[in-house]
Amino acid sequence: MKTSFFSKDEISQVGFARCGKNVLISRKASFYSPEKIELGNNVRIDDFCILSGHIVLGNYIHIAAYSGLFACEKIVIQNYANISSRVSIYAFSDDFLGYGMTNPMVPSKYRHVHLAPVILEEHALIGVGSVILPGITIGTGAAVGALSLVTTDCEPWTIYAGIPARPKKGRRRDLILRYQAELEAELAGGK
């Protein structure tokens, strides 16, 4: 019986560079260059997500429906991070200033593309409909509010929101880190 998620065998046929345990991938997700995509343990990728290019997902990652990760450069999402629906993360961008032509159908010698990695550190949380531009690091425990445009790095344990995203207030870390420690102790005890 087919479910809405790929089976383990179907996932192994996609050709990921690495795929951990307990990975749930919607049958409606799309992958470009899967040989450059690494998936950790306990990863869930929902309907209509697009993952393209060199992407590294840690453990306990969720990517909600309609999100897109586009990586000519590397996108790294560390453990316990969460990407809400309709989030777009870009590790490259066409030049809008006119130093080159735009779009992938134009030969690269006529384009001027900005390439820079994007890193979401542990416990990063990206709200619905947000956009993250190339070269951004979302610090440990930082949260980005819904419909935000991230154009600069986000400091750890800080909540950001707006266009462009600006710091709003601190994010509580004590409970999150306590729950992480309890989960990891529970997992270690079950080995």
The span from the CA of 135 to the CA of 151, in Å, is: 9
Residue 17 inside a domain? The answer is yes
At residue 167, does pLDDT exceed 70?
Answer: yes
pLDDT at 159: 98
Q: What is the predicted pLDDT for the residue at 55?
A: 98
Q: State how far the Cα of 113 lies from the Cα of 177, in Å rounded to an integer.
A: 39
Give the pLDDT confidence score for residue 20 in this predicted structure: 98
Q: Hey, which residues does 155 pair with through a beta bridge?
A: none
Three-state secondary structure string covering the chain: CCCCECCHHHHHHHCCCEECCCEEEECCCEEECHHHEEECCCEEECCCCEEEEEEEECCCEEECCCCEEEEEEEEEECCCCEECCCCEEECEECCCCCCCECCCCCCHHHECCEECCEEECCCCEECCCCEECCCCEECCCCEECCCCEECCCECCCEEEECCCCEEEEECCCHHHHHHHHHHHHHHHHCC
pLDDT digits (tens, 9 = 90+) for 95-143: 899 999 999 999 999 999 999 999 999 999 999 999 999 999 999 999 9
71 is a domain residue: yes
Could you tell me if 44 and 64 are in contact, meaning their C-beta atoms sit under 8 angstroms apart? no
Residue 58 within a domain:
yes
Q: pLDDT tens, 42-87?
A: 999 999 999 999 999 999 999 999 999 999 899 999 999 999 999 9
141: containing domain: 8-189
pLDDT band at 1, cuts 50/70/90?
A: low
pTM of the predicted model, to two decimals? 0.95
CATH number at residue 131: 2.160.10.10
In a domain, 160, yes or no: yes
Q: What is the phi/psi pair of residue 111, to 5°? A: -110, 160
Domain membership flag for residue 60: yes
Q: Tell me if 3 is assigned to some domain.
A: no
Task: State the total domains in the chain.
Answer: 1
In this structure, is residue 50 part of a structural domain?
Answer: yes
Residue 2 inside a domain? The answer is no
Contact 137, 154 (CB under 8 A): yes
